[in-house]
Amino acid sequence: MLRKATTFSLLPHISPLSCLSHFCFLVAPYSAPILPFSTPIAGLDGMQLQYQECDFLGWTCASENRRPVVDKHPEKNEDGGYASGGWKSDDGKLSWGYSSIRGKRATMEDFFDIKMSKVDGQTVCLFGIFDGHGGSRAAEFLKDHLFENLMKHPKFLMDTKVAISETYQRTDAEFLSLEKETSRDDGSTASTALLVGNHLYVANVGDSRAIISKGGEAIPLSEDHKPNRTDERRRIEKAGGVVMWAGTWRVGGVLAMSRAFGNKMLKQFVVADPDIQDLEVDKDVELLILASDGLWDVVRNEDAVLVAGKEEEPEAAARKLTEAAFTRGSADNITCIVVKFHHDDAEKYGLCAVSNPLQRSDILRGYEAIANMKIKG
């Protein structure tokens, strides 16, 4: 059973981006006074969350007009524990939250990454779920390097799909190079979403998953890479591999997914080539959910949309989803990111700087009361 968590806020961090006005996180069990943004925080059971200053990357290609990249999540150590957090943009158009729990596993192999930046005048948001297997090194490497490599790609905005595909393969090669002299054989999934203005790109390797809610309907934006998929099995066998039943369908009788980062012993068959989908985020797109298979093993797409749609705040939605997966018996680490798109309120009332939902509700009621008075008059 999850222990009761203590919520506390941190002082806002002043950065050139200045796009966020509030955030908080949960850590169980711990309580502390307000702390500076870069202060390390240690709780019980060896759990540690490390907050870092903005990551000022040295841009060398693609564009000279780039703002600093800002990490929007706490660092997590290998033990994991239970952490959640959430933010809302100052323009009122976007909010997101995450929840990550170790669950019933002895170690934490899930990692995630959330970043924001300005590129050529456009706000760029990146969200990623990385579910490790055989160890946590591959997933942690992706958290540290995948988005950094992507934003340095010379075609990042000019040909984003090519940039994503080449960055996935380059980052995989970099990790394999680091691991070539070791006896380890770590691997990881990657489910990522890149939002450039109103255009959303979703890329996937492995069995983590991304879905959207559009008009209340759950629409998958990725298909799990499983060895028993007809196209995947054909690709593996063409490369000289075999798909065998060993409790479930596995590549070489070992790995229960057909694509992954790392896994050097099976690399000829288990590639890191992503499937990529893109779409315009119109007024009918309500939310985006990315999660590791610790969630999707026990929660259907439709149920996830239903649960998340009932919560006003995406952090609460992410927590409800991870808790639901845990309650339903998920035996894995569980990590979830929920992104909500706000199309009406900000445009209707200009609530750009109001990030507190209670304040927003009060202001909305005030505007509506005034409007009703004018109509009656």
For 177-229, write each residue's pLDDT tens digit. Answer: 999 999 999 999 999 999 998 999 999 999 999 999 999 999 999 999 999 99
Domain boundaries for CATH 3.60.40.10 within the chain: 6-225+260-343
Instruction: List all residues 6 or more positions away from 27 whose beta carbon is below 8 Å from its beta carbon.
Output: 5, 6, 41, 43, 47, 49, 81, 82, 83
Among 10-24, 241-255, 258-272, name the one with the lowest average pLDDT: 10-24
Element (H, E) at 305: helix 301-309
Residue-level pLDDT at 72: 52
Q: Is 123 helix (H, G, I), strand (E, B) or coil?
A: strand
DSSP state of 158: T
Write the pLDDT tens digit of every residue in 345-375: 544 433 333 334 444 444 444 444 444 444 4
Full-model pTM:
0.74
Once rounded to an integer, what is the mean pLDDT over residues 151-174?
97
Q: What percent of the chain has pLDDT over 70?
A: 70
Least confident range of 26-35, 166-175, 236-245: 26-35
**d(Cα 173, Cα 154) in Å, to the nearest integer?**
18
Residue-wise pLDDT tens digits, 85-139: 999 887 888 999 999 999 999 999 999 999 988 887 788 999 999 999 999 999 9
42 or 106, higher pLDDT: 106
Mean pLDDT of 55-66: 32
Q: What is the pLDDT of residue 82?
A: 80
Question: CA-CA-CA-CA torsion for 156, 157, 158, 163, nearest 10 degrees?
Answer: 30
Instruction: Assign a CATH topology to domain 6-225+260-343.
Output: Phosphatase 2c; domain 1 (3.60.40)
